[in-house]
């Protein structure tokens, strides 16, 4: 296998394209071109792809369709769901065609496929006739592979170019699809100027989703159906509750959406899924009812609740735009609490887009009160080098480096537990609540340190892994799951607290007996 640094070289990229096309052709032929027997929805974009895939599956299932899905976190065939352990957004051609063939045999009507820019650029989807193309957004990512935004956007546009094929005729067995002809559809984020040109590509139906009210007043824009939403209550009221009520408008139709997933970015993801649903003739109200039942997406703005007096959030966020969106949502949702702190545990993937590392640091430095840098997926790069690449951004944002070794982190756990009653919990080297960052490579120790420092009302944010179940270290794949580790550490923290209280009670009882 080629080292990652070689695979991103322009010459290697050029050579890999025909090789990948040949692989895809052989795989398609061996498995009987299964993509021709399915309605295929492709979802691409920098952030929000996995959530949009999940919500799109729900939208299609609301009409009684049997749906398959391939995403970063899982594979789905009808009601069967299993974890994607490959650490790849999209499987290679052989595995992909094998999965599609399995979906055909299982009687799936649709497959919703998460499409990475790498796979699109390398023609890894050759032989798959997409029927619906969706783009969530385009922000900075993979600039180790793509030379600039234009190159990145061109790769994304290949998904929409894949709509150029004769319409399929798929008379489904269920009596829910009269006719059987499958029109092509494009679904685009109108709030992202880099996404709008995708509507220039050939598609029989075009949909644009937006959170801008002026666009929402339109029923069409050059033949594009507008899908938008407005709050059904004031923003202040919406932030105070766990769900958020919206009135969704698609063309001339309106329906109520009770969105339980937090954040404007999740509202955009929901609108994209709604647009896919209505492009397939599903009633708007039917879709919004189904999406209103979605409680959480694993590893996406995902809270861990073990009775602790502070908030713990897991998220996959690995891009500057995703960091900004997360912080905005946290600040908005905690408006009723003035004095809360954000403690952020994160790192960066080895060998990938090194230019974004200081950008992540700068954003975290502006918004967080304490940052703990930890291993994420080092791959073959020196983990210390990765974390040091983030530090210039933290320093530029005014954060101070706190010298705390991993051994000291373990010792400070006991010290802080003993001193928490005195109100000095959260201090680093006697500096109080001054904005600082630590480097604790061991991710479990970093998470433990963050949880021990959290006060009532604080937010502990753990990003970069989401729902992944492995960590890449060199050529190894080490079992790892942020939620599992956080749950274990919270339970340990609770047990330690109970032990201290019991000990204090015994001391008081002893004093009274004297």
Q: Write the pLDDT tens digit of every residue in 278-299.
A: 999 999 999 999 999 999 999 9
pLDDT tens by residue, 413-427: 444 444 443 334 443
* Residue linked to tokens 């105070």: 240
The DSSP string of 90-154 is S--HHHHHHHHHHHHHTT-SEEEEE--HHHHHTTTTTT---SEEEE----S--TTTSSSHHHHHH
Average pLDDT over residues 10-20: 68
Domains recognised in the chain with CATH numbers: 4-211 (3.40.1190.10), 302-499 (3.90.190.20)
Rounded distance between C-alpha atoms, residue 137 and residue 27, angstroms = 30
- Tell me the mean pLDDT in the region 9-15: 60
pLDDT at 464: 95
Q: What is the pTM of this model?
A: 0.83
Crossing angle of helices 93-105 and 10-30, rounded to 10°: 30
Residue 107 phi, psi dihedral angles, 5° rounding: 85, 25
pLDDT (tens digit, 9 = 90+) per residue, 157-178? 899 999 988 778 776 544 445 5
Torsions phi, psi of 206, nearest 5?
Answer: -130, 135
Residues whose CB falls within 8 Å of the CB of residue 33, separated by 6 or more in sequence, listed in order: 127
Report CA Rg, the chain.
24
* Cα–Cα nearest to 315, from 340, 332, 298: 298
**What kind and span of H or E run contains 312?**
strand 311-315
- Sole residue written with tokens 């919406």: 238
177-189 core/surface letters (b: 16 or more CB in 10 A; e: else): beeeebebbbbbb
CA max distance for the chain: 91
Between CA 464 and CA 479 the distance in angstroms is 15
What pLDDT band is residue 212 in, cutting at 50, 70 and 90?
Answer: confident
Written as six digits, the tokens of 22 are 């040949």
Sign, CA dihedral 400-403-405-411, equals negative
Strands 253-259, 244-250: parallel, antiparallel or unpaired by DSSP? antiparallel
> Residue 173: what pLDDT?
46
Average pLDDT of 466-488?
94
Interstrand relation of 132-135 and 67-70 (parallel, antiparallel or unpaired): unpaired
User: pLDDT by residue (tens digit) across 26-40?
Assistant: 999 999 999 999 999
């Amino acid at each position: 296998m080629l080292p990652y640094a070689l695979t991103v070289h322009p010459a290697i990229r050029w050579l890999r394209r025909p090789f990948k096309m040949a692989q895809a052709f052989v795989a398609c032929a061996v498995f009987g071109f299964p993509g021709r027997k399915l309605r295929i929805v492709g979802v691409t974009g920098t952030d929000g792809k996995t959530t949009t895939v999940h919500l799109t599956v729900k939208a299609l299932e609301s009409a009684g369709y049997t749906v398959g899905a391939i995403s970063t976190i899982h594979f789905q065939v009808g009601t069967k769901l299993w974890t994607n352990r490959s650490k790849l957004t999209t499987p290679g051609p052989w595995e992909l065609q094998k999965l599609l063939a399995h979906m055909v045999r299982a009687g799936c009507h649709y497959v919703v496929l998460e499409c990475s820019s790498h796979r699109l650029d390398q023609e890894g989807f050759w032989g798959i006739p997409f029927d619906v193309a969706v783009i969530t957004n385009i922000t900075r990512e993979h600039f180790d592979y793509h030379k600039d935004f234009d190159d990145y956007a061109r790769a994304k546009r290949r998904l929409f170019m894949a709509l150029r094929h004769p319409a399929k005729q798929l008379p489904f067995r269920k009596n829910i699809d009269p006719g059987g002809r499958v029109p092509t559809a494009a679904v685009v984020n109108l709030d992202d100027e880099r996404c709008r040109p995708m509507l220039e590509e050939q598609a029989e139906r075009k949909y644009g989703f937006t959170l801008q009210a002026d666009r929402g007043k339109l029923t069409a824009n050059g033949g594009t159906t507008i899908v938008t939403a407005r709050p059904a209550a004031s923003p202040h009221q919406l932030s105070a509750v766990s769900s958020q009520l919206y009135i969704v408008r698609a063309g001339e139709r309106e329906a109520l959406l009770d969105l339980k997933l937090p954040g404007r970015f999740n509202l955009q993801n929901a609108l994209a899924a709604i647009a896919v649903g209505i492009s397939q003739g599903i009633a708007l109200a039917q879709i919004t009812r189904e999406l209103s039942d979605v409680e959480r997406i694993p590893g996406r703005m995902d809270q861990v609740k073990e009775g602790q007096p502070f908030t713990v959030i897991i998220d996959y966020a690995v891009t500057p735009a995703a960091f900004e969106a997360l912080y905005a949502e946290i600040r908005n949702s905690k408006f009723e609490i003035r004095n809360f702190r954000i403690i952020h545990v994160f790192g960066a993937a080895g060998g990938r887009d090194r230019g974004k590392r200081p950008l992540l640091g700068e954003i975290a430095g502006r918004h967080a009160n304490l940052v703990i840098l930890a291993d994420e997926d080092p791959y073959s790069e020196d983990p210390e080098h990765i974390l040091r690449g983030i530090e210039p951004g933290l320093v530029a944002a005014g954060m101070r480096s706190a010298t705390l070794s991993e051994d000291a982190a373990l010792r400070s756990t006991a010290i802080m537990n003993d001193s928490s009653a005195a109100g000095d919990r959260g201090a680093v080297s006697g500096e109080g609540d001054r904005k600082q960052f630590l480097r604790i490579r061991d991710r479990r120790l970093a998470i433990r340190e963050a949880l021990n420092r959290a006060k009532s009302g604080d937010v502990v944010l753990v990003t970069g892994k989401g729902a992944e179940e492995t960590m890449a270290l060199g050529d190894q794949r080490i079992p790892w799951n942020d939620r599992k580790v956080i749950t274990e550490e919270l339970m340990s923290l609770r047990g330690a607290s109970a032990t201290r209280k019991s000990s204090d009670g015994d001391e008081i009882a002893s004093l009274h007996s004297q």
